[in-house]
Amino acid sequence: MVFSSVIFLLYFLPVFLCLYFLAGKKYRNWVILLASILFYSWGAPRFVFILLASTWLDFHLVGHMYREKNPMRKKWLLGLSIFLNVGLLAYFKYANFFVDNLNAFLTSIGAGAVPWADVILPIGISFYTFQTLTYSIDVYRGVHRPLEKARDYMLYIIMFPQLIAGPIVRFNEIADQITERQETNAERLMGFYRFCIGLGKKVLIANVLGAKADAIMGMQDFSTLDSTTAWVGILAYTFQIYFDFSGYSDMAIGLGKMMGFRFPENFDNPYVSKSISEFWRRWHMTLGTWMRDYLYIPLGGNQVTVARLYFNLWFVFLISGLWHGAGWNFVAWGAYHGLFLILERLFLNDWLKKMGGFISWFYCFLVSVLGWVVFRIEDIGMAGLYYRKLFSFEFGILDFSDGRFWFIFSCALFFSFFIFFPQGKKIQDKIFFKSYSSRMHVAMWCASMMLFVFSVGALSTADFNPFIYFRF
C-alpha cells in the first residue's frame, strides 16, 4: 500500500484517523502500531514477520548494551546490533547484485555459475535499516536513553508515515515524542494541508511528468532519438523525481503532524542551488545529515589530511549511491556527485564565486540533470548512448500536441524555482511554517480539499501511478 492509492486515501486513512482520535491517549500508540503492521503487511506480508522479529531482538540487544558496564562488551553488543541490521539489508538488497556479478565473472573465465534463486526486495528496507542503526548508535553514544517498551521501539521503526519512503527520522529527534507528545487541532489541520500538498505534488505533477519520462527514457532503442526529445525526457524525469520524492516527504510530515509528531524536513528547493555542495544540503536532507553524522564524521570528517578528506567525501557518496539501489549505475551516480564535491573544494567554488549567481546556478542545475541520466537508466551502456543523444545536436521539432504535459511541466518549473521570486520565500514560509489565522485556515482547507478531490479523481482514472522508491 502506498499513500497515493485510492485504497489508502478513501479507506485506510479515514478508518485509521477515526480509530486514532476515538482512542484514549494511552491507546493511541497501539492504534498507530497495529495500523503500521497492517499497512506494511499489505505490500510485504512475508517480510513483516522478519521485520517484527528483528526489531524485537534489536530492542533487547540495545537495552542489554545500555545496561552493560564493561566498555569492551558494550562495543561488541553495538557491533552485533549493527551486524544484524546491516546483514538484513545486505542479504535482501544486495545478495542478487553480488551473485549476479560473481556469476558473470565466473562465466567469463569458463567456470560454472553459482546456483541462486533471486531474493525479493522488501519495500522500504533501506529506510528501516538506517533508523535501526540510529537507535543503537545514539544509545551507545549516550545521546538518548533507550525506550523502555518494545512496542514503543517497534512504533519508532515501522510507523507507517515514514517507513517506506522517508524522511529518515533519527531516534534522538523523535524519542520523547513517542512517549509524550502534544496534539492540537491547529497542528492536525496543518498536517492535513501538508499531506494534501504532497499528494498533489505526487499525483498531479510527478505522475504526469513520469509518464513522459518513461515514454522517452524507457525506450528499448535510443538510436532514433533526437536531442530535443532526449532533453525533454531527462528534464521531465528531473522534475518527476523531485516532486515525487518531496511529495511523499510532505505526505509523511503531514501525517505525522496529524498524530502530534514533528518529522524533520527533507527538501528545501534543491534546484535553486548554486553548487553541488549546496544541492546536497537541500536534497534529501535527512539522508545527507545521516551520512554526515554516522559515516563521514566517524571516518574523520574534515579533521584529516587533504587526501583523506577527498577519499572520505568520495567514499560517502559511493555508499550513498549504492544505498539508493543495487546496481552499477547507482555506484556511478554516487561517484559522479562525489567527484564534483571534490572539484568544488579544489577550485570550482572559487571560479563560481567569480562568475556570479546565474552561472553558478546553471552549472549546478546542469550537473544534477545530467546525473539523473545514469540514475534513471540502469544499463550503463544505454545511459552512455543517452548522453551521446543529448549532445548529438540533432535537434527535432518540439511536439506541443500533449498540452497537459506542457502545462504540468510549466507548473513544475514555476514551483521548483518559486523562491527565486521576491515574495516566494515569504509565501512558502507562511504556508509551511507559520501559524495560521482563521481566514488562512479557511483558505487552506478549501485549497487542500480541492487538491485531495482532484488527486483522487486523477488516481481513479489513470493507470500510471509508479512507486519509484521500491528499489530503495
> Tell me: the pLDDT tens digits for 59-109?
999 999 999 889 899 999 999 999 999 998 888 888 888 888 888 888 878
Helix, coil or strand: residue 428: helix
Whose CA is closest to 132, among 90, 181, 169, 179?
169
Whose CA is closest to 191, among 257, 262, 260, 265?
257
The answer to whether the beta carbons of residues 269 and 239 sit under 8 Å apart is no
- Residue 354, pLDDT > 70, answer yes
- Residue 151, pLDDT > 80, answer yes
The predicted model gives 171-191 an average pLDDT of: 88
Residue-by-residue DSSP string for 68-86: ---HHHHHHHHHHHHHHHH
Q: What is the pLDDT of the chain when averaged over all its residues? A: 89
* Burial per residue of 223-262, b for 16 or more beta-carbon CB atoms within 10 angstroms, e otherwise: eebebbbbbbbbbbbbbbbbbbbbbbbbbbbbbbbbbbbb
Specify the pLDDT at position 221: 86
Among 64, 284, 324, 441, the active-site one is 324
Specify the pLDDT at position 360: 94
Residue 17 makes CB contacts below 8 A (sequence gap 6+) with: 258
Specify the pLDDT at position 29: 92
pLDDT digits (tens, 9 = 90+) for 267-323: 999 999 999 999 999 999 999 999 989 988 888 888 888 888 888 888 999 999 988
Specify the pLDDT at position 117: 72
- Give the orientation angle of helix 125-141 with respect to helix 171-179, to 10 degrees: 90
- Residue 422, pLDDT > 80, answer no
pLDDT digits (tens, 9 = 90+) for 106-143: 887 877 777 777 777 777 888 888 899 999 999 999 88
Q: What angle do CA 178, 183, 184 make, to 5 degrees?
A: 165
CB 298: neighbour CB atoms within 10 A?
11
Q: Where are the domains of the chain?
A: 6-180, 187-461
Specify the pLDDT at position 373: 96
CB 189: neighbour CB atoms within 10 A?
17
pLDDT digits (tens, 9 = 90+) for 182-230: 888 889 999 999 999 999 999 999 999 999 999 999 888 888 899 999 9
Specify the pLDDT at position 191: 94
pLDDT digits (tens, 9 = 90+) for 31-59: 999 999 999 888 777 888 888 899 999 99
Local confidence band at 348 (pLDDT 50, 70, 90 cut-offs): confident
Local confidence band at 470 (pLDDT 50, 70, 90 cut-offs): low
Specify the pLDDT at position 238: 97
The reply to whether 64 belongs to the active site is no
Local confidence band at 471 (pLDDT 50, 70, 90 cut-offs): low
% of the chain at pLDDT higher than 70: 99
What is the Cα–Cα distance from 92 to 99, expressed in whole angstroms? 12
Q: Is the peptide bond before 270 cis (omega within 30 degrees of 0)?
A: no
